[in-house]
Amino acid sequence: MSNYNDDKYFDKDCIFCKIIKGDIPSNFIKENEYCVVFADLNPKAKVHLLVVPKPHVQNILETDEFLMNKVLETIKKVSKEQKLESFRVINNCGKGAGQSVFHVHFHILSGDNLEE
């Protein structure tokens, strides 16, 4: 399960799928076989990145260990590359938790005022 570029992993109505496919132009801070990383449109911190696994998976409950391992690797690499000393990783699962895009993603927040 390593080629996530196949159309079966793509949801034509999903904004993040369109970004991943390049149908909506974006600047990827990082891209590998499994994930893309790009800046959030409405940043909630000085640095606000989204780590988005390539296959269309609605939320964290629909992921598996393989994909989550790739997400973890990507978070580690991007934090090193972007020289983020302190940061917060957030996943919103479900409307009640504030999930608004139903393609699983992980927020990386870094900058001032994250002590609490």
Longest dimension (CA), the chain: 42
Considering only the stretches 27-35, 37-45, 56-64, 70-78, report the one whose residues sit in contact with ligand 5GP under the rule CB under 6 A: 37-45
In the list 3, 42, 83, 115, the residue contacting ligand 5GP (rule: CB under 6 A) is 42
48 has catalytic annotation: no
CB 9 → ligand 5GP: shortest distance, Å?
19
Q: What is the DSSP string of 26-51?
A: --EEEE-SSEEEEE-SS-SSSEEEEE
What's the CA gap between 67 and 70, in Å, rounded?
Answer: 5
DSSP 52: E
**Measured from the CB atom, is 17 or 67 closer to ligand 5GP?**
17
Considering only the stretches 29-37, 42-50, 74-82, 102-110, report the one whose residues sit in contact with Zn ion under the rule CB under 5 A: 102-110
Active site residues: 105
